[in-house]
Amino acid sequence: MRTPLWSSCFAALLVWTLACTNASFAPLAGGAGGVEATGGTTDIGDSGLGELCPPPVIACSSNTVPTIGCDPVCQAGDCDWCATKCSWVAAGINRQAVCATLPTGQQTHAFDPCTQDDPGGANQTDACVPGYMCLPPSTGDLNTYCFQLCASSADCIGGTFCGQRPISNSGAVNVNVCDPPVRSCPNCCNPLDPSGCPLISAGDPAGAQYCYMVSPDPAQPTPPPASQTVCEFSTGGGDKPTCDTARDCLPRFTCVQGACKQVCSPISGCASGAKCMMWGPQYGYCPS
């Protein structure tokens, strides 16, 4: 009598199940049940589970992955992303990209107060999230904050300026970071008010004290463009012959074509009696 087809299939399945149940498996090469650390996988010993740590997803203007070392702006390259981040350290009068130890308790927001470990040294690191670095706003400043690293202003959120800050308060080496966010008036600080910067929104840095006018955004759809301001941590000298950003100037001044100029408004004119050159309806600068 012919054996039913379903009976043969059931018998084969039973034999396969018993074979798998009684089988023994050899441990993975490279450790007793662990996962060998290759290509971003961390060896975690006897747990039998591997932790895959790909590089952080950072929006940056460069799409080039370095073949040697790492890129602090894009967080790309050859780092153990489970335990380190790519950051800058001082190397004499230059800067060098290194895989810096990533401490616990990462701070998640830009411009949060932070602490530098080994500032200015070969092992400098901090608890800012990858893509950010703990820096003083200016040379000699003892306060430090998390700044977003950048290669150009294209890396900065909201089109803020990518400028230089010192890697430590000695000021020997600088790195490029994004400035605080720019605010369009009327939701802006008053660059003529010496009382400083109120917190206008959650994105404003709590440690910033100096209100500066910056050039208006030519891309604003409604003419004329609104005046714009930024709350800065530090202030420079108003009599400097040249400037790169408004923070290079004294409060109540701004940077216009590389020179510090007095800020004015329709109701607060120029000390020289010159006509106020408006940068938007709210504020402008004195030509001389």
Q: What is the pLDDT of residues 181-191, one digit of tens each?
A: 888 888 889 99
Euclidean distance between CA atoms 213 and 188, whole angstroms: 9
Residue found by looking up tokens 């401490």 in the block: 103
- Contact, 77 vs 49, CB < 8 A? no
Predicted local confidence at residue 56, as pLDDT: 83
Find residue 117's DSSP bridge partners. Answer: 125
**pTM score of the predicted model:** 0.73
Ranges of the chain with pLDDT below 50: 1-50
Q: Is 235 helix (H, G, I), strand (E, B) or coil?
A: coil
| Cα dihedral value 52, 54, 57, 62, nearest 10 | 180
Predicted local confidence at residue 201, as pLDDT: 63
pLDDT tens digits, 33-70: 332 323 333 333 333 344 678 888 787 887 667 767 89
Cα-based distances in Å from 18 to 10, 15, 25, 31, 62:
13, 5, 15, 29, 56
